Amino acid sequence: MLYDELIAKINAAKKNWGIIQSDLAVSQESTKFLKDSYLIVRHAFAQINPADYSGNLRDTVLSNKEILREARGYQQFLKICNAYAQVEKKHKNTFEENARKKTAEDLRAMRAEYEKFNLAELDFSDDFCIELRFPGIRMEMIQIIKAHPLIDESLTCNCMACIRVVLRIN
């Protein structure tokens, strides 16, 4: 899946979640529960904050390589992300004035190289779903959320024990 498509799915989930929150916020208690619940992107072995795909893609990829398939730009992107992380670390740990000017320059050059990379050369795994996480186990409230039409009923079990709730993303 292309990066833009992944971001579109995340945005669709966010939009659906916003609608669910406003539909079901009928009391002070439910409003608070809904406000404290949040979305995560769940892969087989990783749970990722949706904001990290746009705000922190480099670190997200480095610590969760399974979100990428080995496409055209895969190796090159990992190489750039690794190099970027090293340059960043060096700059952070450099305090002497002249040396720091040099690491700041390296960092700028690195950023330019990273930004030149075309994210459309990456293939993101489509083996994920976007789920809700709750601030506590309040099954009566969770059951009400599960019954909302913007919840994916094919991936969400309706029984009183399950707390896995999957958002529709299309």
Please identify, using beta-carbon distances, which residue of 9 and 148 lies nearer to Zn ion: 148
Q: Find the binder of Zn ion among 157, 163, 165, 166 (CB under 5 A).
A: 157
> Any contact of residue 147 with Zn ion (CB under 5 A)?
no
Please identify, using beta-carbon distances, which residue of 112 and 161 lies nearer to Zn ion: 161
Q: Find the binder of Zn ion among 143, 159, 165, 167 (CB under 5 A).
A: 159
Q: Find the binder of Zn ion among 162, 163, 166, 168 (CB under 5 A).
A: 162
Please give the residues from 96 up to 135 whose contact with Zn ion meets the rule CB under 5 A.
none
List, in order, residues 6 or more apart from 30 with CB less than 8 Å away.
24, 141, 144
For residue 7, the tally of other CB atoms under 10 A from its CB is 15
| Cβ–Cβ under 8 Å, residues 130 and 167 | yes
How far, in Å, are 21, 87, 114 from residue 106 at the CA level?
45, 7, 12
Residues that bind Zn ion (CB under 5 A): 157, 159, 162
